[in-house]
Chain A
Amino acid sequence: MESKSDAFVRIATQTRTTSASPSVVDYAIEMRNVNVYYGAFRAVKDVNLQIEARKITAIIGPSGCGKSTVIRCFNRMNELIPGARLTGEVLFHGKNIYDPDVDPVQVRRLIGMVFQKPNPFPKSIYENIAWGARINGYRGNMDELVEESLRQAALWDEVKDDLHKNALALSGGQQQRLCIARTIAVKPEIILMDEPCSALDPIATLKIEDLMRELARDYTIIIVTHNMQQAARVSDYTAFFTVDEDRAGVMVEYGPTNQIFTRPRDRRTEDYITGRFG
């Protein structure tokens, strides 16, 4: 009998091949009326957000407006936080990832996450990539997978002669690219990034941004960033969040990045991106 997670992967892969119609926008994932509570506190209110496939969507907004909370909803990471609760739906290929028959482990394989602080395992570069793939039942040629993932993450040339070096000996920027390689090694569809460059220097940051543009050919990327110039440089779409009068995070404006940064429609967006907020 087919397991829950197999069923979920099957749904995901089936619709993946049928949804490629050039005229209609291909949405990778969609939030419908999402509210998130931490205990009694509503941290995020009534979010409706459609994320276009193989594009980069940036989520920006002041500290505490719920950006991290929102991005965690896309792969059920918020469930790991005690007291966190979600209402509404997150549709991935038309299937609500919060349905009881969906396995969160499978969700997190198809929708991977890269964190603010690079967090490689204290093992070799090779093992960092092989480990996740092995856990996910990868049976192919591991050397090839490691090379392919490192190449896609634009790290191969820098580490190819020393794959058995401890990952913690890499620079911060290299560690972050390794974490990206580790994420793509399990062949996700969507990559979530919560402030992936905030611990990196400007050059390492630009490298990650270039890499993101490359990855957007194959993957859908959602990035949370405090750096508005980064959102402007790297993303196709930008969602601006702020807090309303009861401190709940709300989405104020969502649109093509070019429009948001040159002629935002909402005064609150204008005030935030021109630095006149607060």
Chain B
Amino acid sequence: MPLRSALTRQIGQIQDELLVLGSMVEHAALAAVDALKRRDAKAAKEIFEEDQQINEKRFAIENAILILMATQQPMAHDLRQLAAMLEVNTELERIGDYAKGIAKITMLLGDADIPVPVQEIDQMAQLAVSMLHRALGAFVAEDVPTALEIPKEDDKVDELYNVVYRLVVQTMISNPETIDLANLLMWVAHNLERMADRVTNICERTVFCATGELFEVNGMDEDDLNV
């Protein structure tokens, strides 16, 4: 039996749990946008409440990683992998929060009469979730070329964000009493745009885990104005 097979196995188990968390988050994001499309406040409320499970899973994973760090004294690649998993874990939970935020907005909109740029928002969600799904695959496989490619798609998300932004501004101008509600739609687009940014962070961690190099991929800047 190779040395440290127990540690290798435990790291693998945590990675599996991370993928489970990833699929919970992907599901939450798509379901939240779907509820918005259908203006289904009841479904939105369920998604909002299910975020609790995502949080619990996140804490369980964090705890498992900390226990391995404390008891196994991981070094080099093992250490980078555990540190990267800790980071990815946090990013996933935040993405879950964005989904929860969208669900909350759907609840606040109720059946108010306001046009929602459904098509663009849906495209943003599909793209962000697809990026997330592939980024997690690349993370587990330590596939550096893929991890470097995925963040480039962030530009498409930004473009869609700009389209939604303009559509919502038009709604505000033509119908000033909708400003409060329209502002909520702005937040939906913002959340989806931030989801894609967090996928970029996951890709950065993939490169770090595989190579030990820490750098920002694709020059994505948190302070970009997106307008």
Interface size band for B = 10 to 19
B3 and A228: CB pair below 8 A?
no
Choose one: B77, B211, B212; the contact of A274 (CB below 8 Å): B77
Contact B75 A261 (CB under 8 A): yes
Question: How would residues 47 to 75 of chain B score, 1 for a CB under 8 Å from any chain A CB and 0 otherwise?
Answer: 00000000000000000000000000111
A264: chain B residues within 8 A (beta carbon): 76
* Interface: A270 (CB within 8 A): yes
Smallest CB separation, A167 vs chain B (Å): 34
* Docked pose: A263 CA to B77 CA in angstroms: 7
Which of A262, A273, A274 is most buried by chain B, counting CB atoms within 10 A of its CB? A274
Residue of B nearest to A261 (CB): B75
Chain B contacts of A269 at CB under 8 A? 76
Known: A262-B212, A263-B212. A277 touches B3 (CB 8 A): yes
**B→A interface (CB under 8 Å):** 2-4, 7, 73-80, 211-212
Residues of B within 8 A of A278 (CB): 3
The closest CB in chain A to the CB of B79 belongs to: A262
> Which positions 99-153 of chain A face chain B at CB distance < 8 Å?
none
Whose C-beta in chain B lies nearest to the C-beta of A232?
B75
Known contacts A274-B4, A275-B4, A276-B2, A262 near B73 by CB under 8 Å: no
| Alpha-carbon gap, A270 to B77, bound state (A) | 8
Instruction: Evaluate contact between B3 and A262: CB separation under 8 angstroms.
Output: no
Whether A261 pairs with B3 at a CB distance below 8 angstroms is no
A269 to B4, CA, bound (A): 15
- A274-B80 in contact (CB<8A): no
Residues on A with beta carbons closer than 8 Å to the beta carbon of B74: 274
B4 contacts A262, CB within 8 Å? Answer: no
Taking a contact as CB atoms under 8 Å apart, the answer to whether B3 and A273 are in contact is no
A26-61, CB < 8 A from B: none
By beta carbon, the residue of chain A nearest B7 is A275
- Closest-CB distance, A144 to chain B (whole angstroms): 43
When distances are taken between beta carbons in the complex, the residues of chain B under 8 Å from A3 are: none
* Contact across chains for A274 and B2 when beta carbons are under 8 A apart: no
Of B3, B80, B212, which one neighbours A275 at CB under 8 angstroms? B3
Task: Flag A253-274 by CB within 8 Å of B: 1 or 0 each.
Answer: 0000000011110000110011
Q: How far is the CB of B123 from chain A (nearest CB, A)?
A: 39
Within the complex, the shortest CB–CB distance from B213 to chain A, in Å, comes to 8
Are A229 and B4 neighbours in the complex by a CB distance under 8 Å? no
18 A–B contacts from the bound complex (CB under 8 Å): A262-B76, A262-B80, A262-B212, A263-B76, A263-B211, A264-B76, A269-B76, A270-B76, A273-B75, A274-B4, A274-B74, A274-B75, A274-B78, A275-B7, A276-B2, A276-B3, A277-B3, A278-B3
Q: In whole angstroms, how far apart are the Cα atoms of A224 and B74 in the complex?
A: 21
Contact B76 A273 (CB under 8 A): yes
